[in-house]
Amino acid sequence: MIQVKALKPKTDYRQIIEVNVPTRFYWNPDGSFDGIEFGAFKKPLAPWEDEMLLECLEAIKPAIENQE
């Protein structure tokens, strides 16, 4: 089972990445956002899966940093 994959865009998007693992979003008791957790992965990620997941995390990094 591929855990991270690129989907063929059917629209004007350059790229669509799908992550097929549990994803958890955490909020502190005061309501502030604390972070995201991916996994557990069923097998080690292939280098190309790791690169795509890193691309996703880099894309949302500004939104997370603005919460701090």
**Is 65's pLDDT higher than 90?**
no
Domain boundaries, the chain: 4-67
Query: Which DSSP string corresponds to 9-57?
Result: PSSS-S-EEEE-S-EEEEE-TTS-EEEEEE---SSPPPHHHHHHHHHHH
The predicted-structure confidence for 23-41, as pLDDT tens digits, reads as follows: 888 889 998 888 888 878 8
pTM above 0.85? Answer: no
Q: How confident is the model at residue 68 (pLDDT cuts 50, 70, 90)?
A: low
Q: Which amino acid is at 59?
A: A
Q: What is the share, in percent, of the chain residues with pLDDT greater than 70?
A: 94
